[in-house]
């Protein structure tokens, strides 16, 4: 543990540069942007896969720290609304000691005037948890600091139900493969409805990610989901906030229409 923490502070600089793209999460009950997920990108146009392919055991901890700081610093420059959330992906296996490893994040948030409640940390079901108790300590520390947590790619990877039972994050993000074609699949509709009911009983909110068609949006709204992310609304924008559009068939909430008319 000590060597890893020292590596974060004093190790060699990362052998590559990167930046962040921002992808909106929309609240269809309000017709507004709820937050943005920060996605790693290369400074020369490389995708996330190319950058993550350069991450190894020697730089994993430094990279995880650098991603958090970069995302917060860019968001501090771009976000105009103090209620807008920033969602940051993190690697549970790249956190040695939760209280110590969060310090750089706290410092960055202070520098840009970001409230802790605006920040959400996502950990993915696709990354095998080598130490479940350690992940629980991370989540407990983040909650203590006022951050929200989310289980990403729910339904796609390792033991999603077990992770939900063990950690009970504030949010789960339904994997896009689970919702792809849901409009014409009674089986997928039943599964998603069951997940939503289970999440409600646990006090966990649901976000549908990877939404690409109006039919998917309609089916998921009918199931009771309010928070969405996907190309239907916008594509990620590198170091900037993309323009968000709702589909032509989208029915605006009465309160949002009234606010629009008043303006």
Token couple for 208: 């549908």
Distance CA 106, CA 89 (A): 16
Domain range 2-234, its CATH number among 2.40.40.20, 3.20.20.450, 1.20.120.420, 3.40.50.720:
3.20.20.450
What is the structure's pLDDT at 258?
37
Angle at 147 between CA 143 and CA 151, to 5 degrees: 85
Distance CA 196, CA 174 (A): 10
| Per-residue pLDDT tens over the stretch 16-74 | 999 999 999 999 988 999 999 999 999 998 999 999 899 888 888 888 889 999 999 99
| Per-residue pLDDT tens over the stretch 75-90 | 999 998 889 999 998 7
Q: Average the pLDDT over 162-168 and give the result.
A: 78
Distance CA 36, CA 169 (A): 18
H helices of 203-253, in order, are 214-223
Distance CA 249, CA 153 (A): 27
What is the structure's pLDDT at 249?
72
| Per-residue pLDDT tens over the stretch 98-122 | 666 678 888 999 999 888 889 999 8
Of 16, 80, 87, the C-alpha closest to 53 is: 16
What is the structure's pLDDT at 192?
93
What is the structure's pLDDT at 138?
81
- Residues 139/169, Cβ–Cβ less than 8 Å: yes
Q: How confident is the model at residue 208 (pLDDT cuts 50, 70, 90)?
A: very high
- Residues 241/26, Cβ–Cβ less than 8 Å: no
pLDDT exceeds 80 at position 3:
no
| Per-residue pLDDT tens over the stretch 119-162 | 999 886 545 555 667 778 888 888 888 899 998 888 765 556 77
């Amino acid at each position: 543990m000590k060597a890893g923490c020292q590596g974060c502070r004093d190790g060699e600089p990362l052998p590559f540069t990167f930046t962040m793209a921002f992808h909106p999460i929309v609240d269809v009950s309000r017709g507004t942007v709820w937050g943005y997920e920060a996605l790693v990108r290369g400074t020369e146009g490389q995708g996330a896969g190319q950058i993550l392919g350069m991450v190894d055991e020697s730089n994993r901890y430094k990279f995880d720290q650098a991603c958090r700081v970069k995302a917060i610093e860019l968001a501090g420059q771009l976000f105009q609304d103090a209620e807008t959330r920033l969602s940051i992906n993190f690697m549970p296996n790249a956190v040695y000691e939760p209280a110590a490893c969060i310090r750089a994040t706290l410092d960055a948030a202070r520098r840009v005037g970001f409230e802790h409640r605006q920040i959400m940390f996502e950990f993915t079901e696709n990354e095998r948890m080598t130490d479940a108790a350690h992940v629980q300590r991370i989540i407990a520390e983040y909650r203590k600091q006022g951050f929200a947590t989310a289980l990403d790619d729910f339904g796609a990877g390792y033991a999603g139900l077990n992770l939900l039972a063990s950690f009970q994050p504030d949010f789960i993000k339904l994997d896009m493969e689970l919702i792809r074609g849901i409009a014409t699949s009674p089986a997928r509709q039943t599964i998603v409805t069951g997940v939503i009911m289970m999440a409600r009983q646990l006090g966990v909110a649901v976000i549908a990610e990877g939404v690409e068609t109006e039919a998917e949006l309609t089916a998921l709204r009918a199931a009771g989901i309010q928070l969405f992310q996907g190309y239907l609304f916008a594509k990620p924008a590198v170091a900037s906030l993309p323009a968000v559009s709702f589909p032509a068939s989208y029915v605006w909430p009465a309160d949002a229409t009234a606010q629009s008319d008043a303006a």
